[in-house]
């Protein structure tokens, strides 16, 4: 008599069941450099209450009646300078990393690229994981330093989506990687290549700015944040402070490059509105350095993992022109991680440890 084997899942079903979904998330970019698409992007981005943290009614009027109508045409012109045959660099570098990371992680993982604003959407990526029944989801925001307006917003959007699911699998978030050895190694290696070809008399570390009020709101003690020496070290009371993490990234890079005290500075760019933002401002420091006789500056932008409007155009072109107008001679931007193999190695390490 033939004994019937007990029912088992097929190999294919078992493989699917044991997979982990990995959602890599960058900020976002317009679908095209045309004004309507730029306006649509700005509206979604700036209506996020973590980005412009003022009451909804005032935020709606500010964004929809002032910023989007008047800023979109100007931003569209700049986006057209940035656009390539492949589209927006921030997006196509993300697509490259999606493929490279998938190949490196193997079949046990399913990697999908998403943008916090616009496409490909986080909703679509997470929905695909839900339908596949994956055992775990790992969300990796592409922001080295934590900020409520970036990493925090990705966390919030993820939880807002999955809270409607009947079954919520295990979900892990990558919080920061501002001090990851491979992150520091990448920028240091890229910088050394430039330093071998040219002599620099100053080094700038320019990070994306934030309103001071957002930094203060993140101070759980209400007493730690002084916008001064409080960021000289990372400790339990400021471990999630964006400003403190930026300064720590600078310190680690300075150590790796062996820079002398007095030859470098941490600055902040891209402020919006009249409220005070984290200082010193990059454009103000550029003028000061030129007036001091600095002629050759190597500049880093370690708040970004992909070159974009804020790096290629703002730092690479606008700030260079500003520096030269004030008497500077040589201004060089160190490129972001973009689609480098070291970036993939860093992500693999973050994901395997999640």
Q: Are 205 and 269 spatial neighbours (Cβ–Cβ below 8 Å)? A: no
Q: What is the 3-state secondary structure (H, E, C) of the chain?
A: CCCCCCCCCCHHHHHHHCCEEEEEEEEECCCCCCHHHHHHHHHHHHCCCCCCCCCHHHHHHHHHHHHHHHHHHHHHHHHHHHCECCECHHHHHHHHHHHHHHHHHCCCEEEEEEEEECCCEHHHHHHHHHHHCCCEEEEEECCCCCCCCCHHHHHHHHHHHHCCCCCCCEEEECCCCCCCHHHHHHHHHHHHHHHHHCCCCEEEEEEECCEHHHHHHCCCCCCCCCCCHHHCCCCCCCCCCHHHHHHHHHHHHHHHHCCCCCCEEEEEECCCCCCCECCCEHHHHHHHHHHCCCCEEEEECCCCCCCCHHHHHHHHHHHHHHHHHCCCCEEEECCCCCCCHHHHHHHHHHHHHC
Whole-angstrom distance, CA of residue 151 vs CA of residue 177 = 11
Binding residues: 208, 310
- Do 337 and 306 meet the contact criterion of CB atoms below 8 Å apart? yes
Is 89 within 8 Å of 307 (Cβ atoms)?
yes
Task: List residues forming the annotated binding site for Fe(2+).
Answer: 208, 310
């Amino acid at each position: 008599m033939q004994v019937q084997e007990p029912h088992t899942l097929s190999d294919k079903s078992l493989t699917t069941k044991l997979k982990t979904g990995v959602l890599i998330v960058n900020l976002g970019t317009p679908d095209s450099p045309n004004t309507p698409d730029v306006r649509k992007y700005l509206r979604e981005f700036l209506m996020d209450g973590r980005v412009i943290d003022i009451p909804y009614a005032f935020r709606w009027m500010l964004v929809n009646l002032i910023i989007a109508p008047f800023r979109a045409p100007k931003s569209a012109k700049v986006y057209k300078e940035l656009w390539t045959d492949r589209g927006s660099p921030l997006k196509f570098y993300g697509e490259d990393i999606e493929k490279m990371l998938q190949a490196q992680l193997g079949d046990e993982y399913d990697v999908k690229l998403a943008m916090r604003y616009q496409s490909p959407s986080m909703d679509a990526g997470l929905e695909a994981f839900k339908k596949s029944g994956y055992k775990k989801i790992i969300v990796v925001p592409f922001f080295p330093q934590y900020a409520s307006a970036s990493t925090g917003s990705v966390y919030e959007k993820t939880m807002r989506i999955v809270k409607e699911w009947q079954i919520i699998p295990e979900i892990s978030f990558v919080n920061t990687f501002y001090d990851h050895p491979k992150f520091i190694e990448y920028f240091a290696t890229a910088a050394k290549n430039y330093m071998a070809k040219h002599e620099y008399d100053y080094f700038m570390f320019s990070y994306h700015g934030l309103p001071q009020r957002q930094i203060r709101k993140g101070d759980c003690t209400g007493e730690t944040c002084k916008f001064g020496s409080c960021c000289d070290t990372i400790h339990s009371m400021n471990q999630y402070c964006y400003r403190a993490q930026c300064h720590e990234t600078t310190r680690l890079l300075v150590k790796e490059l062996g820079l002398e005290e007095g030859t470098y500075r941490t600055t902040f760019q891209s402020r919006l509105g009249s409220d005070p933002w984290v200082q010193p401002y990059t454009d103000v420091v550029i003028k000061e350095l030129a007036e001091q006789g600095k002629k050759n500056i190597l500049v880093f932008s370690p708040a970004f993992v992909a070159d974009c409007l804020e790096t290629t155009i703002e730092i690479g072109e606008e700030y260079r022109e500003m520096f030269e107008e004030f008497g500077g001679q040589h201004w060089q931007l160190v490129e972001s991680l973009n689609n480098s193999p070291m970036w993939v190695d860093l992500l693999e390490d973050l994901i395997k440890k999640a």
